[in-house]
Structure 1
């Protein structure tokens, strides 16, 4: 064998060995694309107002509905039994959007966006009636709402985007639970509670935020 052939053989063998080592020890390329959407609720939080507690205290069962759209943080539309219904969340109030009346109140848009986010991303949306009337004078359904088994009331209250208001017997079964959740947000001065006197006995006072 000629010297030239020996050199060629050695060079080829070196290349083959190098390629083999690279394939054997190199890490596979990782897929960086996110295939899952972010969770709408923190799975590490232990929620207080569970579906079992709510159903046991009200004596009613959850009703599956299809979310359609929202008007503001505490009012939205659903399809129930093939019919479009407007829902007004029981015993909580979010700042007003003031449609056709001027600028939205502070935190009104944030509350609406959070409600839409929770309802749109939920795999299941359920309503729960209390012991009193199921509708108000505007024919809106008065109900508690749950997204994927978590209380929408609790999320809005705990994040300081709603307050306990319009409490009327006998649709007040879960008042104590809601007030306890609100109290924690008040102590932490979250969102609406970061401003002294924003919420007063007669409602929200935007001027207290813009002082």
Structure 2
């Protein structure tokens, strides 16, 4: 065998060994990141079918707290109160914010400021409350804001009034998961009770 052929074999063998070692010990290809939409528990299409309503596109303006925002709808600024959930109060005129109030507000703002689409979906009952706020589900890029807040333990199911409660059970199921995991507001016993939030349970 010629010297040239031996060198070729050695070179080829080295490449093959290196390739084999890389396949065994090298970095694995990154796993496919799960599509965010696959984790949505209350898809917009399902909410449309259950409520019998069509979502309305709006533009986000600002957030008062975790569960109350302002939007621009048809050229008019409107306040929206998220249906069936309650986040801790900011207490603008009453002193310090309740525990997790600022977290809930920041969470809501971050989602809305980075959204490509914001949609408002009414339920089967009144579209406004006695403060003239719109009562609705808010969908941000296909995920319901109520769902997101409940998942993160920043909100509790409250102010449930028929017939504006078509998605009540779904929201309660999401809350139950956060409670079981002791996430945020649920990390303190008796912080949230039937009559609302009790900061003394956190600050004691």
TM-score where L is the length of structure 2: 0.82
Q: Which residue, out of 59, 71, 77, partners 1:78?
A: 71
2:184 is aligned with 1:191: yes
Rg larger for: 1
Measure how far apart 1:134 and its partner are. Answer: 0.2
Q: Which residue, out of 69, 84, 89, partners 1:91?
A: 84
Distance 2:147 2:126 in 1: 22
Moved over 2 A (4+): 41-45
Measure how far apart 1:179 and its partner are. Answer: 0.3
| Residues 1:42 and 1:68: Cα distance change in structure 2 (over 3 Å) | farther
Q: Which runs of 5+ in 1 are unaligned?
A: 1-40
TM-score where L is the length of structure 1: 0.79
Measure how far apart 1:45 and its partner are. Answer: 5.5
SS of corresponding position for 2:131: coil
2:180 is aligned with 1:174: no
| Residues 1:189 and 1:55: Cα distance change in structure 2 (over 3 Å) | same
Measure how far apart 1:83 and its partner are. Answer: 0.5
Q: How many residues align?
A: 171
SS of corresponding position for 2:203: coil
Q: Which residue of 2 aligns with 1:103?
A: 96
RMSD: 1.3
Distance 2:192 2:38 in 1: 27
Q: Which residue of 2 aligns with 1:134?
A: 127
